[in-house]
Structure 1
Amino acid sequence: MITVGNRKLSVDDFEKLLYQNGKVELDNTAREKVVVNFDFLQSYAQNKVIYGINTGFGPMAQYKISEDDQRQLQYNLIRSHSAGSGQPFSEELSRATMLARLNSLMQGVSGVHVETAELIRDLLNKKISACIFERGGVGASGDLVQLAHLALNLIGEGEVLVDGKLRPANEVYSENGLKPLDIHLREGLGLMNGTSAMTGVGMVNIIQAKRLLSCATILSAITNELMKSFDDHFSEELNHVKLHNGQTKIAAGIRTVLSDSKLIRKRPEHLYHRRIVEAVFTDKVQEYYSLRCVPQILGPVYDTLVEVQRVLEDEVNSANDNPVIDHEREMVYHGGNFHGDYVSLAMDKLKIVITKLTMLSERQLNYLLNDKLNQKLPPFINLGTLGLNFGLQGMQFMATSTTAENQTLSFPMYLHSISNNNDNQDIVSMGCNAALMTKRVIDNSFDVLTIQLFAVVQAIDFLKCHTRLSSFTTKVYDEFRALVGPVLEDKPRYNDIQTIRKYLVNLGATFPLN
């Protein structure tokens, strides 16, 4: 069970919900706080001007709303802002958004009725996901459009996702014995004014980015192994003198993969403890940067992931709506906690380092496929007839193209503000855009690393080095070959690529770089 309220949620909690069939329960103490907070606001709001209860919204906040129209105001807000477009969120993105919003409401400062939290809990536990569209929010007054679609589903309108299919919300509610949410006071604004969509997407991104970094470390290690690299560039002795935690972690990860490899060479045995008589060395004294500098390149990726995770966990455990209802001080505070700059900047940092990771993978792939560089393998690791067959040539085009796409996508959304809402929202975060673009970069990166995995396995077959591989590499090779055979004849490979991509994602989950 994932207990929400009265404790901080972590990335691990999101991973349990999304990938380990976790269930959600509400902490009783936090639930009671939500009840007290709502009762306070209901009493305190009488004869006072409080934004979003007896006023219009945004630049129309100067208009007073009569008591008779206040509930209708909330319904109008939800329905009018359910104006998203593009593709619906996947179920994992939707469920992450719902958990993020639930946790924000359970802080007990949003002034919503406890039925709101209970309904989100029930939907999560029954695997009924809100239909949230990708396009719409600017991430400043929160993810207004995305969260409006969540709110629309909670009042029993629109469509919801069940088992990957969109179905009318009212039908699904009826089948599951659920009652749509009634507006009590400010549930519309309380659901919509916040950063939960960008944060939910961000949580999925950081989970997948950590898996991707593990995969990049594994593939970098195997690439070094097949090229019989020297071990000093990932040694503890070399890396401990550079005082960056990420570099240390990556080097340690490489050593774990290669701990019992018989292919990796020790420099003293080849270059220090014998007399050198050659005028020109046949062996490279130092490997190319894409092999030798892996700890220095992936180390900053590791450190950035740590920072991004901290930002996301701080955000998801925050009250990020407006106004903030403080029943303990008996005050209502108006401000901008819905502004998504923290998440937007974190997502931009994440996509930049993931693009660099992809560039490293693409360079290692190019090294393996270019016989003039590696001087060990045939062109494109072609195991068929040279000239007649093409090996991995077609796959490389996809990897190169996808890497270039990531480079373009890595322009920061954090710096791209457009004033809107009659200039009320005159500087915005574009946080949900940033998070969704980062997801695309991460998805792209898995495609590139998938082709690199094809290449290293194909190289093992050509080199016939199975008995000298590390036990870890042998395990990866055997698992790969159980799914897909060698590339010999030329035939369509897109289904094989998807099969190995799924395997790679799971491989990353089993090799955490702690």
Structure 2
Amino acid sequence: MPCSASASRTASVQRPFGPSSKVSATAGTAGEPRTYTSRRSSPSGSRKPGALQPAIVTAASAVTAIRTWASIPTREVAGEQFSPARPGLRDFRPSDSVPRVYAAGERAEDAVVLAPPEPLTLEALGRIAAGAAVVLGDRVRSRLEASHAQLVALAASGRTVYGLNTGCGPLVDRPVAPDAAARFQKNLVRSHATGLGAPHAASVVRATMAARAFSLAQGRSAVRPVVVDTLVAMLNAGVHPIVPEIGSVGASGDLVELAHVAAAVMGEGDVEWRGSRVRAAPALAQAGITPVAFEGREALALMNGTACETAQAALVVLGAEELVRAAEVAAALVLEALGANPEALDARVHAARPHAGQVAAAAHLRTLLAGSRRLRDASARGGRPVQDAYTVRCVPQVLGAVRDTLAHVRQVVGVELNAVTDNPTFFPEEGAVLHAGNFHGQPIALAMDHLKVALAEVALFSERRLARLLDPAANGGLPPFLIRNDAGVRSGLMGLQYCASSTVAENGVLAHPASLGSVPTNANNQDVVGMGTVAVRQARRLLENGRRVVAIELLAAAEAVDLVGGDMLAAGTRAAHAAIRRLVAPLLEDRPLGHDVERLADALGAFAS
């Protein structure tokens, strides 16, 4: 069964992240760690390009959409004791603050089946991030058991296996004796759970846990089924490890971030549980989940991979696809307001230069503007320039290039999401264990750096159209700063333009390639690192900035349409204008507009159909 399939009869969630969530998965019993014996103790070493996923929303969902990447509020609960009866713990419902991290048409309530080799889609991961339950496929357990049996046999044979009977990193030449294995597992997690800064949003943590569970479920990491079962049980119960944002260099995977996940799995560290920040052990107990006592190389298997940066990258891609569609809607409204020449959208023009993204963007704009009497009448009037400025005339070419970038990045992220990023890699069907470097995060780092430039371009392009709308020398006779009356006494959108300009300037800094910042570390064992976690963190910020700039353009475009009259608009642009006006009132008198912009930015899915 594909991973995106619904399995509601197997597991259901009444309220994502909520205390009343129903789950059918249980973690089972971890048991005591097994002592591995060895005869020696010394180691020897089909989507079309340019096509974006459709998003269908209602006006109500536009009003209730919640900001991407906004962290779920937490409250500290002192000490190890956790009681759901503690005052204030039940009055908060995390599902009311779940960040919107996926295309708005996706639903979180359908369970997602993890059943490799069936692929895990970005959309399915987005649903898990938003609170969907998770179910393991029928063949996962046998695959895990076969892989773990291979590890047991290798240990008994005395074969040196990295992370099983060796130290890690540059300590690979230091043997780990069987009687030190349990201590080694715990120390590996504790020494690496050193993240800094603000914690990731619960949505990111959920996506990270799901990505790691899917990778382990492929049976190439030699972990017991209980490890994957526990990750799934924590997801379904809403027990989310607190994972700080800063720490990984994206080389040997996301060691620091995933160490915080591993710590929670073994009952240590902090978690978000029922809306509060609490210690992991009592939260797991309340959820009926037994902490795992790691065996073999299970601690390393949880930590050694790109799950955190890949999960974030997947969510950024979903949000970026939504942003591009919304930017095309904003551009269409500006074209209406300025009475642009529709020849620039003619299908024959774009067939002559058939970049997939350009063709798709032009088609979207033609759909939005179909039947526009304003563009038709403006085109028929004499005395106007034969062609418009680039910000108006070249929308398909610019945003189409962004679409093509997104298509490439989606492909890279999709491969990484479905990959085994551990080391070593186990092949029980062949009796082979291979030491290699699939943990290296360079694919995500380069893809995110590429996407960062594209996201910066979306905001820059939007800001340039905004500048044209507000400038009386370039806006086709509209008043300065779209001031309806009393210019001078009123300033209209003047202040809001500063915000767009400032944001675009910041984007230029954020778009600098993080992957060029390789800093050798780990006693020069990790002598070239990807910095993918830095790149994806910057991409998240760029996505948020892009949302705000496009929201400003939408607000300004609605004001411009009010001034020229909306009775001759196309059906598509008329619907977009109406959606804006349901969220933001016309600017009849100067007022602070920050909240209006944030409201529009939160609801971009309404304009991304």
Shift of 1:492: 2.3
Match of 1:153 among 264, 275, 279: 264
Residues 138-180 of structure 1, C-alpha deviations (whole Å, 9 max, x = no match): 0111100011111111111111123554222222212211111
Query: Could you tell me whether the CA contact under 8 Å between 2:331 and 2:392 is conserved in 1?
Result: yes
Match of 2:529 in 1: 428
State the shift of 1:405 in Å.
0.6
Query: Aligned pair in 2 of structure 1 residues 340, 266: CA closer, same or farther (>3 Å)?
Result: farther
Stretch moving more, 160-169 or 176-185: 160-169
Distance in 2, matches of 1:303 and 1:27, equals 34
Name the CA distance, whole Å, in 1 between partners of 2:274 and 2:495.
35
Q: Is the 8 A contact 1:417 1:428 kept in 2?
A: yes
Pairing of 1:335-346 with structure 2 (within 5 A): 335-346=436-447
State the SS of the aligned residue for 2:433: strand
Residue equivalent to 2:373: 262
Q: Which residue of 2 aligns with 1:497?
A: 597
Measure, in 2, the Cα distance between the counterparts of 1:304 and 1:165: 39
**Preserved CA contact (<8 Å) 1:301 1:357:** yes
Q: Is the 8 A contact 2:332 2:573 kept in 1?
A: no
Are residues 1:359 and 2:469 paired? no
- Aligned equivalents of 2:342, 2:481: Cα separation in 1: 26
Q: CA deviation at 1:120?
A: 1.0
Amino acid in structure 2 at the alignment position of 1:507:
F
Give the residue type in structure 2 aligned to 1:492: P
**Distance apart, 1:489 and its partner CA:** 2.3
Give the match for residue 28 of structure 1.
138
Residue 176 of structure 1: aligned partner: 287
Report the equivalent of 1:466: 566
SS at match of 2:173: coil
Contact 2:329 2:576 in 1 (8 A): no
Alignment of 1:348-427 (within 5 A): 348-427=449-528
163 and 368 in structure 1: CA distance in 2 versus 1, 3 angstrom threshold: farther
CA deviations over 1:316-362 (Å, ceiling 9, x no partner): 11110101111111121111100001111000111111111111000
Question: In the alignment, what sits opposite 1:240?
Answer: 351
Is structure 2 residue 203 aligned with structure 1 residue 102?
A: no
Of 163, 166, 188, which residue of structure 2 is paired with 1:52? 163
Identity of aligned residues (%): 35
Q: Secondary structure at the match of 1:360?
A: helix
Distance 2:448 2:274 in 1: 29
Match for residue 550 of structure 2? Answer: 449
Task: Report the alpha carbon displacement of residue 18 of structure 1 after superposing the two structures with TM.
Answer: 2.9
Structure 2 residues without counterparts, runs of 5 or longer: 1-110
SS in 1 for 2:245: strand
Structure 2 partner of 1:274: none
Q: 2: distance between equivalents of 1:270 and 1:380?
A: 25
Distance in 1 between residues matched to 2:274 and 2:464, nearest whole Å:
39
**Aligned partners of 2:280, 2:246: CA distance in 1, in Å?**
21
Which residue is equivalent to 2:583? 483
Q: Deviations 1:74-105 (Å, cap 9, x if unpaired)?
A: 11010110111111111121111111111110
Q: Deviations over 1:199-245 (max 9, x none)?
A: 00001100000000101111111111111111111111111100211
Secondary structure at the counterpart of residue 87 of structure 1? strand
Match of 2:78 in 1: none
Extract unaligned runs of 5+ from structure 1: 272-281
Indicate if the aligned counterparts of 1:92 and 1:204 stay in contact, CA closer than 8 A.
no
How has the CA–CA distance of structure 1 residues 242 and 266 changed in structure 2, closer, same or farther, with 3 Å as cutoff?
A: farther
Contact 1:231 1:266 in 2 (8 A): no
Change in Cα spacing, 1:163 to 1:404, as seen in structure 2 (3 Å) is farther
Q: Which residue of 1 aligns with 2:398?
A: 297
Change (3 A) 1:77 1:326: same
**3-state SS of paired residue (2:518):** coil
In 1: Cα distance, 2:606 partner to 2:129 partner:
14
2:48 counterpart residue number: none
Match of 2:418 among 300, 306, 317: 317
Letter in 2 for 1:432: T
Superposition deviation, residue 287 in structure 1: 0.5
Task: Please say which of residues 291-300 and 2-11 is displaced more in the overlay.
Answer: 2-11
Q: Report SS of the residue matched to 1:51.
A: coil
**Equivalent position of 1:39 in the other structure:** 149
Cα distance in 2, alignment partners of residues 72 and 365 from structure 1 = 60
User: How far, CA to CA, are the matches of 2:572 and 2:272 in structure 1?
Assistant: 40
Distance in 2 of aligned mates of 1:392 and 1:270: 29
The DSSP-based 3-state class of the residue aligned with 1:418 is coil
The question of whether the paired residues in 1 share the 8 Å contact of 2:341 and 2:379 is answered with no
Which amino acid in structure 2 is aligned with residue 213 of structure 1?
A: V
Letter of the 1:493 partner, please give it.
L
The 3-state SS of whatever aligns with 1:481 is: helix
Question: How much has 1:314 moved relative to structure 2?
Answer: 0.6
The answer (yes or no) to whether the contact 2:456–2:504 under 8 Å persists in 1 is yes
Q: Residue type matched to 1:471 in 2? A: A
**CA deviation after TM superposition for structure 1 residue 447, in Å:** 0.8
> Separation in 2 of the partners of 1:162 and 1:250?
43
The whole-number CA distance in structure 1 between the counterparts of 2:605 and 2:179 is 54
Out of 204, 217, 231, the residue aligned to residue 342 of structure 2 is 231
C-alpha distance in structure 1 between counterparts of 2:574 and 2:379, whole Å: 27
1:4 to 102, 105, 114: 114
Q: What is the alpha-carbon distance in structure 2 between the residues aligned to residue 164 and residue 292 of structure 1? A: 49
Aligned to 1:88, which of 199, 210, 213?
199
Q: Which residue of 2 aligns with 1:438?
A: 539
User: What is the CA–CA distance in structure 2 between the aligned matches of 1:165 and 1:487, rounded to whole Å?
Assistant: 40
Q: CA deviation at 1:59?
A: 0.6
Deviation sequence 1:244-293 (CA, Å, 0-9, x none): 1110000001011111211113898457xxxxxxxxxx312110000000
Distance in 1 between residues matched to 2:474 and 2:591, nearest whole Å? 27
Partner SS for 2:426: strand
Does the 8 Å contact 2:220/2:425 carry over to 1? yes
Matched-pair contact (CA < 8 Å) for 2:342–2:379: no
Q: 2:380, 2:474 → 1: CA distance?
A: 24
Using structure 1 for the length normalisation, give the TM-score: 0.94
CA distance in structure 2 between the partners assigned to 1:266 and 1:9 by the alignment:
49
Cα separation, 2, equivalents of 1:504 and 1:383: 26
Aligned partners of 1:87 and 1:134 also within 8 Å: yes
| C-alpha separation in 2, matches of 1:266 and 1:321 | 62
Q: Deviations over 1:7-52 (max 9, x none)?
A: 1111121232234x43211112122101111121012122121111
Distance in 1, Cα, partners of 2:542 & 2:605: 15
Cα distance in 2 between the residues matched to 1:500 and 1:67: 59
SS of aligned partner of 1:100:
helix
Question: Retained in 2: the 8 A contact 1:201–1:435?
Answer: yes
Superposed displacement of residue 136, structure 1: 0.2
- Alpha carbons of structure 1 residues 506 and 77: separation in structure 2 relative to 1, 3 Å: farther
Task: Tell me, in whole angstroms, the C-alpha distance in 1 between the residues paired with 2:178 and 2:606.
Answer: 55
Matching residue's letter, 2:219: G
